[in-house]
C-alpha cells in the first residue's frame, strides 16, 4: 500500500488509540485504525456487565460509527501478526500495511503472577467477553445452588472469590455483593442468602494500594459493612477447579475464582527487538517515541515512561498520551520537534458500593456519597453514544430503586464470535 500523504497506522482502539485517531482526523491526516474488534469498549464499566447491572451492548460503541465525521480516518478489523520498524510495515492477517508513523496502543492483558492453576481455573476481567463469562458463571452458580441437595456443593457454588484488591477487584466485589442481596431475595426464595459469600483476597496490607492508607481503610470497612469478606496479606499459592489455596495453607472451596490481581502489556510481535520494562511494557522516551524508532509511539498501558510523575494505568492517562502522540506526529509532519508528555492529573474516583466511593482530586481526598455520585456523573459523561448514556442511566435508576438492572439471563457462549456482533441500528 502506498500513499502520497503521510499515513498514520494506529494499533488498538482503546482510549489512547481512539483519542489519537480523533485528533489526527480533525487535522485531515490519513489514519488507519486497526483492532481485532469493530467496537470500542468502555473498560471502567466492565464490572457492571459482569454483575448484571448493565447489558453488554451498553458499554461498547461501533468504531465505524464513532468516526463517521472523520473522512480521513479508516478502520480495519484484523489481528496484528508482526511490526517491522526498519521497513515501516505492519503485518495484519494476510495484509502488509506500510506507514509513515505508527502508534502502538494495544493495552494490557491479565497477568497470573506464576500462580499454579490460575490461568486454567480462574476468570480474568479485561475484555467484554471476560465480563460476559463472569456474568454467566455467577448466574449459573445461582441456578446450580437452587437444585443441588448437598450442602457442601451448594456452599461451593455460592462462594465467589476475587483475587486482587485494586480498583477492579473492589468495584467488582461491592457490585457482586449487591447482586447477591437483590437476586436471592427475589429470584431464589428457597435459598438462604446467608450461605452466599463474596471473598476479596489482597496480597498487600491495604486495599487500593495506589491511594492513601486512610482511603484504603475506609474501603475495607465499607466492604465489610456490606458483607464482603476481606482478607489482607493473603497471597494465592494455587487455584484448582474446586478451591483456592493460600500461602499460609488456608483453603477456600469455591466454583468461581475471578482474577484481577495483575496485568501485562499486550505488546505486538516485533521483527526488531524493543526495550522493555516491568510488566513487559515498552520503554518510550519523554515524547512517547519508542527508543530507536522516532516515527513510532507507544501509548497507554503498553508503554513505560521514565518520569517523576506517577502513573496508575487509568483511562485519563491513556487519553492524554493518545493526544500527545497525535500532537507530536502533527509536529513531525510540519518538520518540528516532538514535545515531552506532560500529564495533568484531573483526579481519580472509584466505587465501593451504593453511596460509597473514594477519590482524590488534587490534594483533596473524597469518600462516601460525594465520591460515589461523582463517579457516576463523570463516567456517564465520558461514555460514548447518546443511546448508551440513556440506557445506562435507566439501568442505574432501576438498580438503585428496585435492585434490578439488566435482565439476569445466561447468554449462550457456544459461539464466542456472537458476543462481538454489534448492532449498527
Q: What is the pLDDT of residue 190?
A: 87
- Specify if 389 maps to a domain: no
Q: Which three cell numbers stand for residue 297?
A: 509511539
Residue 300 maps to which CATH number? 3.50.50.60
Cβ(419)–Cβ(38) under 8 Å? no
Q: Domain residues for 216? A: 123-261
How many angstroms separate the Cα of 406 from the Cα of each of 56, 154, 320, 397, 398?
Answer: 9, 25, 32, 11, 9
Write down which residue in 314, 334, 354 finishes a domain.
334
- Claim to verify: residue 215 and residue 305 sit in the same structural domain: no
- Rounded to whole angstroms, the Cα distance separating 54 from 69 reads 28
Domain count, the chain: 2
- Rounded to whole angstroms, the Cα distance separating 101 from 121 reads 41
- Specify if 236 maps to a domain: yes
- Specify if 345 maps to a domain: no
Q: Which three cell numbers stand for residue 239?
A: 487455584
Angle (CA) 4-333-292 rounded to 5° is 105
DSSP per position, 5-16: S-EEEEE--SHH
Cβ(143)–Cβ(132) under 8 Å? no
Q: Is the dihedral of CA 12, 18, 20, 26 positive or negative?
A: positive
- Claim to verify: residue 176 and residue 80 sit in the same structural domain: no
Q: Determine the average pLDDT of the residues in 349-361.
A: 94
- Claim to verify: residue 128 and residue 256 sit in the same structural domain: yes
- Specify if 419 maps to a domain: no
- Specify if 420 maps to a domain: no
Cβ(47)–Cβ(175) under 8 Å? yes
Contacts of 17 (CB under 8 A, 6+ apart): 10, 11, 33, 35, 103, 105, 299, 300, 322
Where residue 5 falls among pLDDT bands split at 50, 70, 90? Answer: confident
Q: Determine the average pLDDT of the residues in 101-129.
A: 95
- Claim to verify: residue 145 and residue 21 sit in the same structural domain: no
Q: What is the pLDDT of residue 194?
A: 86
SS3 state at 275: coil
Q: Which three cell numbers stand for residue 88?
A: 515501516
Where residue 413 falls among pLDDT bands split at 50, 70, 90? Answer: low
- Specify if 358 maps to a domain: no
> What pLDDT digit, counting tens, does each position of 219-278 carry?
999 999 999 999 999 999 999 999 999 999 999 999 999 999 988 999 999 999 999 998
> What pLDDT digit, counting tens, does each position of 192-204 carry?
888 899 999 999 9
- Claim to verify: residue 20 and residue 62 sit in the same structural domain: yes
**Of residues 19, 82, 143, 171, which has the active-site annotation?**
171
Write down which residue in 261, 276, 311 finishes a domain.
261
Q: Which three cell numbers stand for residue 80?
A: 496484528
Q: Determine the average pLDDT of the residues in 287-309.
A: 91
- Claim to verify: residue 169 and residue 206 sit in the same structural domain: yes
- Rounded to whole angstroms, the Cα distance separating 252 from 168 reads 21
SS3 state at 77: strand
Going by C-alpha positions, the residue among 247, 301, 313, 304 that lies closest to residue 114 is: 247
Asked if 205 is an active-site residue, the reply is no
- Claim to verify: residue 208 and residue 140 sit in the same structural domain: yes
- Claim to verify: residue 84 and residue 101 sit in the same structural domain: yes
- Claim to verify: residue 248 and residue 153 sit in the same structural domain: yes
Residue 123 has pLDDT above 90, yes or no: yes
Q: Is the dihedral of CA 229, 142, 43, 175 positive or negative?
A: negative
Write down which residue in 244, 261, 278 finishes a domain.
261
Going by C-alpha positions, the residue among 19, 7, 11, 61 that lies closest to residue 315 is: 19
Burial 151-181 (b: 16+ CB within 10 A, else e): eeebbbbbbbbbbbbbbbbbbbbbbbbbbbb
Q: Is 230 left (phi over 0), alpha (psi -120 to 50) or beta?
A: beta
- Specify if 149 maps to a domain: yes
- Claim to verify: residue 160 and residue 226 sit in the same structural domain: yes
Residue 421 has pLDDT above 70, yes or no: no
Cβ(51)–Cβ(21) under 8 Å? no
- Specify if 393 maps to a domain: no
Q: What is the pLDDT of residue 60?
A: 97
Burial class of residue 398, CB neighbours in 10 A (0-12, 13-18, 19+): middle
- Claim to verify: residue 188 and residue 308 sit in the same structural domain: no
Helix (H) or strand (E) run with residue 74 in it: strand 73-77
Q: Is 16 left (phi over 0), alpha (psi -120 to 50) or beta?
A: alpha
- Claim to verify: residue 253 and residue 313 sit in the same structural domain: no
pTM score, whole prediction:
0.92
Amino acid at each position: 500500500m502506498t500513499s502520497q500523504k503521510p499515513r498514520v497506522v494506529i494499533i488498538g482502539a482503546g482510549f489512547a488509540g481512539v483519542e489519537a485517531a480523533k485528533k489526527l482526523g480533525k487535522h485531515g491526516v490519513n489514519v488507519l485504525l486497526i483492532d481485532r474488534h469493530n467496537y470500542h469498549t468502555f473498560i471502567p464499566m466492565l464490572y457492571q456487565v459482569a454483575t448484571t447491572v448493565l447489558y453488554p451492548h451498553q458499554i461498547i460503541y461501533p468504531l465505524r460509527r464513532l468516526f463517521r465525521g472523520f473522512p480521513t480516518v479508516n478502520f480495519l478489523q484484523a489481528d496484528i501478526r508482526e511490526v517491522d520498524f526498519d521497513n515501516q510495515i505492519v503485518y495484519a492477517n494476510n495484509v502488509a500495511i506500510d506507514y509513515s508513523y505508527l502508534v502502538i496502543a494495544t493495552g494490557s492483558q491479565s497477568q497470573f503472577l506464576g500462580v499454579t492453576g490460575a490461568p486454567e481455573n480462574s476468570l480474568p476481567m479485561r475484555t467484554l467477553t471476560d465480563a460476559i463469562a463472569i456474568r454467566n458463571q455467577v448466574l449459573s452458580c445461582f441456578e446450580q445452588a437452587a437444585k443441588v441437595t448437598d450442602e457442601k456443593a451448594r456452599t461451593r457454588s455460592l462462594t465467589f472469590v476475587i483475587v486482587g484488591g485494586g480498583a477492579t477487584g473492589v468495584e467488582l466485589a461491592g457490585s457482586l455483593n449487591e447482586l447477591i442481596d437483590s437476586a436471592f431475595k427475589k429470584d431464589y426464595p428457597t435459598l438462604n442468602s446467608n450461605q452466599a459469600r463474596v471473598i476479596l483476597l489482597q496480597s498487600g496490607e491495604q486495599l487500593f494500594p495506589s491511594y492513601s492508607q486512610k482511603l484504603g481503610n475506609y474501603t475495607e470497612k465499607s466492604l465489610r459493612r456490606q458483607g464482603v469478606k476481606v482478607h489482607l496479606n493473603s497471597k494465592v499459592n494455587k487455584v484448582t477447579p474446586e478451591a483456592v489455596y493460600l500461602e499460609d495453607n488456608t483453603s477456600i472451596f469455591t466454583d468461581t475464582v475471578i482474577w484481577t490481581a495483575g496485568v501485562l502489556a499486550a505488546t505486538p510481535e516485533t521483527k526488531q527487538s524493543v526495550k522493555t520494562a516491568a510488566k513487559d511494557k515498552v520503554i518510550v522516551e519523554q515524547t512517547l517515541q519508542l527508543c530507536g524508532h522516532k516515527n513510532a509511539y507507544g501509548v497507554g498501558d503498553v508503554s513505560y515512561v521514565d518520569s517523576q510523575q506517577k502513573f496508575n494505568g487509568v483511562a485519563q492517562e491513556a487519553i492524554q498520551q493518545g493526544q500527545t502522540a497525535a500532537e507530536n506526529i502533527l509536529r513531525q509532519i510540519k518538520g518540528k520537534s516532538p514535545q515531552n508528555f506532560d500529564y495533568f492529573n484531573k483526579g481519580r474516583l472509584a466505587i465501593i458500593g451504593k453511596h460509597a466511593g473514594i477519590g482524590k482530586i488534587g490534594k483533596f481526598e473524597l469518600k462516601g456519597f460525594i465520591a460515589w455520585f461523582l463517579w457516576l456523573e463523570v463516567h456517564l459523561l465520558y461514555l460514548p453514544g447518546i443511546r448508551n448514556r440513556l440506557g445506562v442511566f435507566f439501568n442505574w435508576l432501576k438498580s438503585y430503586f428496585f435492585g434490578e438492572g439488566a435482565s439476569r439471563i445466561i447468554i449462550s457462549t457456544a459461539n464466542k464470535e456472537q458476543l462481538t456482533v454489534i448492532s449498527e441500528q
